[in-house]
Chains A and B, each alone.
Chain A
Amino acid sequence: MKRLFNISHSQKQLLQETSFILDRSVESIINEFQDLYNDNLNSSNKKANTQKLIEWVFTLRYPEYSKAVELFENLKKQLSKKNIELKYDRSFENEDYHININFSDIKDLESSISVIQNNLKDLKEELEYIRP
């Protein structure tokens, strides 16, 4: 375990909290992660391994919330390819979403609008997931 990860204090807190909530030992959680992702772990990159571990533990602790974040982050990534910036409240408490479009000419703008339109269905599903 020590060879693969370099866990900070706050990351340890998340692990311990998850262990407490799920009534499982920290060791069994880490073992499960290693069993699942063994092929993707690299002993020379503890930082990346730890990041993966913590992201995975977060999905155990907050399954529904992390799914909502994942959906939005995927959409954000898609849009950013066309210089479109999606902003949202990470707690999802505020229905306050922003889209910024950077464009150089009308053609560029039309292309961005088209990307947004193509993603509207996904966005609708994501919003319905958060507020069913």
Chain B
Amino acid sequence: MIYIEKALSEKDPFLIKGVTQKHELIENINSINESCLNGDIILKRRKNSFIIPYQYGHGITGKNEYVLRWGTGCKFSCLYCYVQQKINFTKILTVFADTKAIKEELQELFKIKKKILLNAGENFDSFICEKETGFTSRLTNMFSDFPELTVEYRTKSLIPENYINNVNSQNTFIAISLNPYYINKRFEKGTSDHNDRIQNIKALLDKGHRLALRIEPVILIDDYLNHYKKFFRQLSAEFDINRLESIDISLLRLTKKGFNFVKKNREIMSGEWILSTSDNKYRYFIRQRIIALKELKYALSKVYKGSIYIGGEPKNLLKYMI
């Protein structure tokens, strides 16, 4: 069931047109939460701001992007996910489906910035409910009003055919978050089938969509390099990997809470986890990280000639990647 805040549907009468499932308009949307079931979707307004600068953590490098906070909840069960470890985490999806408010915030931001990179998938999978709500399509249409804006969608979901075939965007790109088959099966329960997702990438490229790949989080299980090498070969065999705009590689890092969450998993715990004094997160010992990232980057560069970025690491590590 999709519950839509009545005031939101009045503000944006076209919102309901994208909704493909049974829905109900609700006057007092906050009263609905307790009666919702997993898989239900709530569309409502947002009380606080949508766009904030990305918080990288002390000393961690990034792309100076902003984050669009347009939804909460996740139906997946990735073992390592920090979102799931939050106290108020829910599998009920809430979409703050207010394109007008987002547009206003962008207009304000463009008064002080010439160009903006907006991450629209940092804490909410960008396509997790596109099939049911059509809201990502609406966002993409709205973003087209801002030629100096670049939007990164990020997803572990299958992109619906409707989006693949009917949406055409110059200033958005979809970053597909994908891991080797084994890691996906072991640690990313509930996400779409690995091979279906590769077919999905092919279909997106065929239709001319801008795509990037996020290989994250890399988990240093035994024999990880062979799993990743096989994965790179698989990608390269299935489609023209050089059509991807960029590929990011990021190793798993865990908050203290997240670390306790995975403590019972031997495969994850087998790495040498050290509590970093710089950002208070557990990371693989820096030697292991440098060796792994160098090996992965080298293996990937055999099949991919585009830009390979290392994410979530301090500057002092990146200089060893050259």
Contact = CB atoms under 8 A, between A and B. Distances in A.
Contacts of A90: 277
Contacts of A20: 266, 269
A32 B317 CA distance: 37
Interface string A45-89: 000000000000000011111001000000000000000000001
Contacts of A63: 272
Interface residues of B, number: 21
B52 interface: no
A21 B269 contact: yes
A41 to B, nearest CB: 27
B285 A65 contact: yes
A94 B274 CA distance: 13
Given A91-B275, A93-B276, A62 B270 contact: no
A93 B320 contact: no
Interface stretch (A98-106, A112-120, A124-132): A124-132
Interface string B270-289: 10101111100001011110
A39 interface: no
A37 interface: no
Interface string B169-186: 000000000000000000
A92 B266 contact: no
Most A CB within 10 A of own CB, among B266, B272, B288: B272
A95 interface: yes
A2 to B, nearest CB: 28
B310 to A, nearest CB: 14
A23 interface: yes
Nearest to A94: B278
Contact of B286 (A17, A21, A62, A92): A92
A63 B284 CA distance: 12
Contact of B272 (A65, A94, A131): A65
Interface residues of A, number: 21
A91 B314 CA distance: 14
Interface in B221-264: none
B37 interface: no
B277 A132 contact: no
A131 B316 CA distance: 10
Contacts of A95: 316
A103 B266 CA distance: 50
3 tightest A-B CB contacts, nearest first: A93-B276, A65-B285, A91-B277
Interface of A: 17, 20-21, 23, 61-65, 68, 89-95, 129-132
17 contacts: A20-B266, A21-B269, A23-B266, A62-B274, A64-B272, A64-B285, A65-B285, A91-B278, A91-B286, A93-B274, A94-B316, A95-B316, A129-B287, A131-B290, A132-B287, A132-B290, A132-B294
